[in-house]
Amino acid sequence: MNCIIASTSTIYGSSYLEYLKPTLSEHFKEVREILFVPFARPSGLTYDEYTAKAKDGLTFLNASVKGLQEFENYREAVEKSKAIFVGGGNTFLLVKTLQELDLMSVLKQKILSGTPYLGTSAGSNICGPNMQTTNDMPIVMPNSFEALGVLPFNINAHYIETEPNSKHKGETRRTRIKEFQVFNNVNVVGLKEGSWLEVRDHKIQLKGKLNAVWFEPSKAPKIIQSDAYL
């Protein structure tokens, strides 16, 4: 595999994909055309509006960006793609749309075959066995929560730790993930904003300046330091 699995597309104080520019310049170095999948539709953007945003964010690359909606045959477009970017937004909507268009299996095969892949937020959430550790509201109902399963663990994108002096008494992100693991024997990586996973063949490395948190059922969470291999 050849993937960048990013927690977010945008970090505080920067523009869309700006913090990933050095990494993406190398990741897509040999690529001349990127297929963008806009189905997660953040804030209800249309497919064309979201594709325009992706194109603008990737102008630093020597590659054209085309939205999947621009093709007559979606499955064929994925099969023939040279590189794929699945943008963030609502994971429930993304999974539902991919399932209804029968694109899950072909997308998985393309990733496993080594096609350069970029996922941000929802586009990263779908890389685990299931999408059940997303933070998104269930605005639609997919046929199942099953996802691509190209990673052997789930992602919790935008992961945050509770501030020590916070007055918030609601459930923490750690609490929610451990609740999930009571009923699901699936490991989870809490991936903070500004962090990403680089997947090269079967090696998975945490990149960025921040650590991540590894959740394993029935065990205490562990800190993963930047540049460590999972």
Give yes or no for residue 135 having a pLDDT over 90.
Answer: yes
Give 228's DSSP letter. Answer: -
Q: What domains can be seen in the chain, in order of their start residue? A: 2-155+192-209 (3.40.50.880)
- What angle in degrees, to the nearest 10, is found between the helix axes of 104-112 and 91-100? 100
For residues 172 and 45, what is the distance between their CA atoms, to the nearest angstrom?
A: 29
| Tens digit of each residue's pLDDT (9 = 90 or more) over 168-191 | 767 899 999 999 999 999 999 999
Instruction: Write down the pLDDT at residue 214.
Output: 98
The question of whether 201 is a catalytic residue gets the answer no
The question of whether 121 is a catalytic residue gets the answer yes
Take residue 121 and report the two structure tokens written for it.
Answer: 């937020």
What does the pLDDT average to over 128-151? 98
What does the pLDDT average to over 120-149? 98
* Amino acid at position 225, single letter: Q
Give yes or no for residue 166 having a pLDDT over 80.
Answer: no
8 Å CB contact between 208 and 226: yes
The question of whether 218 is a catalytic residue gets the answer no
Q: Return the beta strands (E) in the chain as ranges.
A: 2-6, 33-37, 64-67, 84-86, 117-120, 154-157, 188-191, 196-200, 203-207, 212-215, 222-224
**Which one of 136, 166, 168, 218 is the catalytic residue?**
136
Q: Which long-range contacts (CB under 8 A, 24 or more apart) does 205-210 make?
A: 205/229, 205/230, 206/230, 207/23
**Which one of 121, 195, 218, 227 is the catalytic residue?**
121
For residues 87 and 52, what is the distance between their CA atoms, to the nearest angstrom?
A: 12
Take residue 129 and report the two structure tokens written for it.
Answer: 């066995």
**Which one of 7, 124, 158, 195 is the catalytic residue?**
158
Give 132's DSSP letter. Answer: T
* Amino acid at position 150, single letter: V
Comparing CA positions, the residue from 140, 60, 57 lying closest to residue 98 is 140
